[in-house]
């Protein structure tokens, strides 16, 4: 019988995979993709809680998360395109003008 | 029984595609495997009886957001990117160990959750829509401001500078 714990475990695995992606990849686009993965792991746990606690509010929250993710992706990709136009790179090791 | 088989199959595919997202060399393959992972996740949502959210996930997420990703990945000439590594670099093993620790902690929290028996709910368009337009009406209207701000900021960021 599949219960809440199975879905939450899948969500935790997805979160860890996304975290590995953020820590190891050096390309800004890949980091954005890993952030998408982590956001969707959170969505999965929201939906599973909503389903197993009998409250639809979790699915409404997932709806809002998707809207925020859409806004984040559009702005993030615009910044990436702008960075590439100015600096000719998407490697975060070369984008260090904000570092001290 | 069918639900168990479906759950394990879809979860396995989801995890494999998620590993493909972070492990593939080319960014195009990463985006494509994220699209596949989103479709698998929509399958999990359907198993959880969240039909509206599953539909939105496929239509908006896999259909629109990731296609936008694909456009940008293809616009940016990856060959120009230099792959030499300077400065601080985290080795994959350290990253895997960190994520493993966080996973184990999350897992111990998950194990402590008690399951209560409740009647099954169906996240149909009607039910979620009722909730969205009654209890969550104000946040729903405020998201339109967020989208508007995103659109304006993207236009401002992406336009060419005037000389």
DSSP state of B151: H
Q: Which of B13, B24, B30 to mutate to test the interface with A (most CBs of A within 10 A)?
A: B30
pLDDT by 10-residue block (mean), chain A, 100 residues: 88 93 87 92 93 90 92 91 82 75
**pLDDT tier at B118 (50, 70, 90 boundaries)?**
confident
Is residue B42 within 8 A of residue A41, CB to CB? The reply is no
Is the pLDDT at B89 greater than 80? The verdict is no
Tokens for A54, please give them: 């009998």
CB contact under 8 A, A56 and B128: yes
The fraction of chain B above a pLDDT of 90, given in percent, is 47
Contact: B99, A48; criterion CB under 8 Å? no
Rg of chain B on CA atoms, in Å: 21
Which is it for the CA torsion B8, B29, B150, B55, positive or negative? negative
Run of H or E including B117: none
Q: Which residue of A has its CA nearest to B3?
A: A2
Flag the least confident range among A4-18, B75-89, B116-130.
B75-89
Rounded distance between C-alpha atoms, residue A100 and residue B143, angstroms:
36
Residue with tokens 């060959």, as numbered in its chain: B79
Which of B6, B68, B87, B99 is the best residue to mutate to test the A interface, defined by the most A CB atoms within 10 Å of its own CB?
B99
Per-position DSSP letters for chain A, written without gaps between them = ---HHHHHHHHHHHHHHHHHHHHH--BHHHHHHHHHHHHHHHHHHHHHHHHHHT-THHHHHHHHHHHHHHHHHHHHHHHHHHHHHHHS--BTTT--TT--
Its pTM stands at: 0.89
Which tens digits make up the pLDDT trace of B13-69?
999 999 999 888 888 899 999 999 999 999 999 999 999 999 999 998 888 888 888
């Amino acid at each position: 019988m599949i219960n809440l714990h199975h879905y939450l475990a899948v969500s935790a695995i997805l979160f860890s995979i996304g975290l590995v992606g953020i820590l190891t990849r050096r390309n800004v686009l890949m980091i954005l993709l890993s952030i998408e993965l982590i956001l969707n792991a959170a969505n999965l746990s929201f939906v599973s809680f909503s389903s197993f606690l009998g409250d639809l509010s979790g699915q409404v929250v997932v709806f809002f998360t998707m809207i925020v993710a859409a806004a984040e992706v559009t702005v993030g990709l615009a910044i990436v395109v702008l960075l590439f136009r100015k600096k000719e790179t998407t490697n975060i090791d070369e984008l260090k003008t904000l570092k001290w | 029984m069918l639900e168990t088989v479906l759950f394990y199959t879809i979860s396995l595919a989801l995890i494999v595609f998620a590993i493909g997202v972070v492990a593939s060399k080319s960014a195009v393959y990463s985006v494509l495997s994220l699209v596949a992972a989103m479709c698998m996740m929509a399958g999990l949502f359907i198993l959880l009886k969240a039909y509206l959210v599953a539909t939105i996930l496929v239509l908006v997420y896999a259909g629109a957001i990731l296609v936008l990703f694909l456009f940008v990945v293809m616009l940016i000439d990856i060959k120009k990117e230099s792959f030499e590594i300077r400065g601080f670099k985290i080795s994959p093993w350290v990253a895997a160990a960190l994520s493993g620790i966080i996973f184990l902690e999350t897992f111990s929290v998950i194990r402590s959750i008690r399951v209560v028996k409740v009647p099954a709910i169906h996240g149909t368009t009607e039910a979620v829509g009722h909730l969205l337009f009654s209890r969550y009406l104000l946040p729903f209207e405020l998201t339109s401001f967020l989208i508007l701000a995103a659109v304006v900021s993207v236009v401002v960021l992406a336009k060419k500078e005037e000389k």
